[in-house]
Amino acid sequence: MKIIILSVGKPKEKNFSALADKYFRRIGPYVKLGLEFVSEAKDTDPARKVEREGRDILRKIRERDFVVTLDERGRETDSVSFAEWFSETVNRTEGRIIFVIGGSYGLSGEVKNRGDHSLSLSGMTMPHEMCHVFLLEQIYRACTILKGVEYHH
């Protein structure tokens, strides 16, 4: 089973990147995790920008993949419930699990429609660089909860 975090644009802020790398390395002993990126579309029109990014995202998704879109209107959960959901999803999914982080204007309707689950990390909008860190930390936290490792209190 492989987990992929697929994002529009690579994190540019070095402090966010360092923190994301820290959690990425910590997850390694628990699950196979990959990071993939599509380029941020160069367009001044937000709707065209989102559509172009959406097409690039969809090209990276396979038919058997279980797609989790990150959206402020998605399902909110606490860490323990997320860990339980994560475990169930890993155990029942034949393809990869792909967490999709949109660009500055979010995800296209086509990407949202392709999603099998919509997850909210917060009701508030946050930069996708922060979203990377938060998602990676929660995946790490879920792994430690499931393995009984002391991290989550």
Q: 44 CB contacts (<8 Å, ≥6 apart)?
A: none
DSSP classification of residue 97: E
Report whether pLDDT(53) > 90: yes
Report whether pLDDT(151) > 80: no
Q: Give 61's pLDDT tier (boundaries 50, 70, 90).
A: very high
Opening angle at CA 51, ends 46 and 5, nearest 5:
105
Quote the CA–CA distance of 69 and 102 in Å, as a whole number: 8
What ranges do the domains of the chain cover? 2-9+16-146
The pLDDT value recorded for residue 150 is 84
More confident residue, 128 or 148: 148
The residue written with tokens 């959901």 in the block is 85
8 residue type, one letter: V
136 residue type, one letter: L
Report whether pLDDT(4) > 90: yes
Quote the CA–CA distance of 21 and 123 in Å, as a whole number: 25
CATH topology of domain 2-9+16-146: Alpha/beta knot (3.40.1280)
Report whether pLDDT(131) > 70: yes
User: What letters, b where the CB count within 10 A reaches 16 and e where it falls short, cover 46-79?
Assistant: eeebbbbbbebbbeebeeebbbbbbbeebeebee
